[in-house]
Amino acid sequence: MVDFESSLLHQYVASNMYQRKQPDRASAIMVVTRYLLRRVSSAKLIAASSHLLFRATILAALILIFLFLLHYPPLLLSSSHYSSSSPHSNHRSLLSSGSYGGGYWERDVRRSAAPRRPDGLSVLVTGAAGFVGTHCSLALKRRGDGVVGLDNFNAYYDPALKRSRQALLSSHGVLVLEADINDGALLAKLFDVVPFSHVLHLAAQAGVRYATRNPQSYVASNVAGLVSLFEVAAKHADPQPAVVWASSSSVYGLNTEAPFSEIHRTDRPASLYAATKKAGEAIAHTYNHIYGLSITGLRFFTVYGPWGRPDMAYFSFTKSILSGKPITLFRMPDGTAVQRDFTYIDDVVKGCLGALNTAKKSTGVPGGGKKRGPAQLRVYNLGNTSPVPVAEMVSILEHLLGKKAKKNVVTLPQNGDVPFTHANVSLAKTDFGYRPTTDLATGLRKFVKWYVEYYGVQTPKVVNKDAGEEEKEEEGAAASA
């Protein structure tokens, strides 16, 4: 303290030398006191400013986080927000949460996966509570194969319909687990419990137009989810399963050659949905090349039928016609009709089972080691081969429902839809006997019959008749005329 005070006195003397005054000790003490007070006040001000700056920074960070959540929720939310998956970094495995696992759970999984016929398949079906997934799971179980389903029951369309499909599968002995395909730990556990021979990977974020509103859900499900599945199948499963997965006819994008063939260009997607499916085909090639996974991709063409997706045109048109609401029909700028290669669900199921039946074993080594040799890599069209104008589909629905539609005809917008689809299925026919047999009128009759029964709508007479009965009635009416 003496040294510090002496230093201050020295400064005081130096500052007053020009006045040639001899400082007395009282004046020096006053100088020291004032100096200390100034230092203390300055320290308090700095401390107060620091606290204020810290609080302002925290507030600004909270505001930024709030704005980020407001504008980009799919990046941070889980799969319950309209997506069928979520990235690994944001996903907590259901195993760690205690939702799954344990002796009873493993017993139920094994029971559902056990084939009932000699040389039967044991198949993990992702998206099992979806439209195609439900029908394929039922067909596999009915022929004696073992099936375990996986579905996240997202809210892209009414989850109640998915729950009804789940109940239908349960009544046939198929266990459907509510889980996300990005849950790598759960997938690995499933392969530990059951040595699945095959995977039928149908889980995906569907819909062309919805991608403009929630693009992240497509990347999370169709890209990240596919990688998650391939990672477990290639590096963890023992033995490696053969994988059959759902690509899409949308990969043909702006292709104008018809009918669409597997050798045609697929590098011009017209929608983000199509782009994610095309990316999936490239990813499949990578895992086949590096890890020896046997992989078959199936390009579906506008699948329809009972238990279908409510976002599809035939389904939503049926609902609107019955309720008296207008429907929107698209036409091309030159006035030509929009056409689709409508494919009935039973035909698609036959194609899926044919692909599973002819899928060869993977050649990789569990753990991701060097593969033993080249593995099977295939892609097929599954369509009906007969494009039909959408307006004709509406006419068939009007006849079946006994009610005219209120139509708004507008030009096809630039929202990712393409003017027509037309499948060449000769490759699938050659390799596993794929032959679509259901025409649009017959398929829509079966759909409408299911629709009016499921939703409790008053049943039109025509719906309760099969094709033969209707033809006889029409012949009789013609004869009496």
Report, in angstroms and rounded to the nearest whole number, the Rg of the chain calculated over CA atoms: 33
Q: Which residues contact 401 (CB under 8 A, 6 or more apart)?
A: 318, 321, 322, 448, 460
Spatial distance between the Cα atoms of 63 and 59, rounded to a whole number of angstroms = 6
Q: Is 252 a catalytic residue?
A: no
What is the per-residue burial (b if ≥16 Cβ within 10 Å, else e) of 417-427? ebbbbbbbbeb
Of 270, 249, 265, nearest to 381 by C-alpha is: 249
Count of other CB atoms within 10 angstroms of residue 208? 18
Please name the amino acid found at residue 442.
T
Q: Which of 82, 210, 273, 434 is catalytic?
A: 273
CB 210 within 8 A of CB 136: no
What would the two tokens of residue 466 be?
Answer: 């099969």
Spatial distance between the Cα atoms of 424 and 373, rounded to a whole number of angstroms = 31
What would the two tokens of residue 102 be?
Answer: 């344990």
Catalytic residues: 273
